[in-house]
């Protein structure tokens, strides 16, 4: 089994025998890894709107995060789930203007189109998995036919790497700035109440 291009980066090799008891003892003595991509949320006000963003926070763990490289976790030219696990979700009780696009009050999923020349924030209308299970949408299940808007983001290179991906809604005048930060990349877009 060989999967170096997955997020797990594993490579297994067959050996003639293995001392399972010794391996189990070594693994149980090692510190627990914990949750690899813990859930997080932002619940705040942007002007008169109540806004919530729920997402999971993957970690860099020595990997190349964004780029043209075949070893990049998130290569340019694709849609990224903007987190890990279930799709990142946005809720607002008022109409918002994100960048220059209107987003009506409601619930959405967020994705990002990754390109070398710049990123676009994607606000998508799909919330549940298409299998009618009623479960929340998994982050790799982006359906472009459900995109509400695609908004250009401002790109910044950070002076030091961010180990665990984060999202922030920082107050800015009568609105806020939505920021996505991971490794040495920050992408941002203004948000205000319509």
Say if residue 186's pLDDT is above 60: yes
Instruction: Confirm whether 12 is domain-assigned.
Output: no
Instruction: Confirm whether 186 is domain-assigned.
Output: yes
Instruction: Confirm whether 22 is domain-assigned.
Output: no
Instruction: Confirm whether 46 is domain-assigned.
Output: yes
Contacts of residue 62, defined as CB under 8 A and 6 or more positions apart, other chains included, come to: none
Instruction: Confirm whether 152 is domain-assigned.
Output: yes
Give pTM, 2 decimals. 0.83
Instruction: Confirm whether 132 is domain-assigned.
Output: yes
Instruction: Confirm whether 150 is domain-assigned.
Output: yes
Instruction: Confirm whether 29 is domain-assigned.
Output: no
The 10 Å Cβ neighbour count of residue 46 is: 21
* 24/191 Cα distance (integer angstroms): 50
Residue with tokens 């279930």: 86
pLDDT level of residue 14 (50, 70, 90 thresholds): confident
Residue with tokens 């594993």: 10
Residue range(s) defining the domain that contains residue 99: 40-193
Q: How many domains does the chain have?
A: 1
Tens-digit pLDDT profile for residues 107-153: 999 999 999 999 999 999 999 999 999 999 999 999 999 999 999 99
């Amino acid at each position: 089994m060989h999967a170096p291009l997955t997020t797990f980066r594993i490579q297994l090799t067959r050996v003639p025998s293995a001392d399972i008891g010794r391996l189990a003892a070594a693994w149980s003595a090692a510190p627990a890894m914990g949750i690899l991509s813990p859930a997080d949320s932002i619940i705040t006000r942007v002007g008169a709107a109540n806004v919530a963003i729920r997402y999971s926070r993957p970690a860099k763990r020595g990997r190349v995060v964004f780029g043209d490289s075949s070893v990049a976790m998130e290569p340019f030219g694709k849609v990224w789930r903007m987190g890990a696990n279930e799709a990142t979700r946005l809720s607002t009780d008022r109409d918002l203007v994100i960048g220059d696009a209107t987003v009506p009050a409601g619930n959405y999923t967020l994705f990002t189109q990754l390109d070398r020349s710049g990123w676009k924030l994607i606000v998508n209308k799909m919330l549940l998995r298409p299998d009618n299970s009623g479960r929340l949408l998994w982050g790799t299940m982006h359906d472009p036919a459900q995109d509400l808007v695609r908004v250009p983001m401002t790109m910044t290179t950070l002076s030091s790497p961010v180990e665990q991906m984060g999202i922030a809604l920082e107050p800015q005048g009568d609105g806020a700035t939505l920021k996505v930060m991971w490794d040495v990349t920050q992408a941002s877009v203004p948000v205000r109440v319509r």
